[in-house]
Structure 1
Amino acid sequence: MLFFAVSSLKNKTSSFYCFHDFFFIFIRFSWVVLFNYQ
C-alpha cells in the first residue's frame, strides 16, 4: 500500500514537472516570437 502511494505520488510529480516544462517552453517560444515581431 505504501509503495503504491509513493509510486502514485511520483507519477503526479512527474506529470506536474512535464506540464511545467511544457508551460516554460511555451512562454519562452511566445516571448521569442513577440520579440522578433516587434
Structure 2
Amino acid sequence: MMDVYMVAALAVIFGLFYAFAGWCERVVDDKGGKEQ
C-alpha cells in the first residue's frame, strides 16, 4: 500500500509543479506582451 500512496503523492506533486510552471509562463508572457 505504501507504494500506491507514494505514486499518488508523486503524481500530485508533479501535477502541481506543471500547473504552477504553466501559470508562471502565462504570467510572464502576458507581462512581456504588455511591455513590448
- TM-score of the alignment, normalized to the shorter chain, above 0.5: yes
Higher-Rg structure is 1
Percent identity between the two aligned chains: 17
Q: CA RMSD, aligned part only?
A: 0.3
Structure 2: which 5+ residue stretches go unaligned?
A: none
Structure 1: which 5+ residue stretches go unaligned?
A: none
- For the residues of structure 1 that align with 2:10 and 2:35, how far apart are their CA atoms? 37
Number of aligned residue pairs: 35
Look up the match of 1:20: 21
Structure 1 stretches of 4+ with a deviation exceeding 3 A read none
Look up the match of 2:30: 29
Shift of 1:10: 0.4
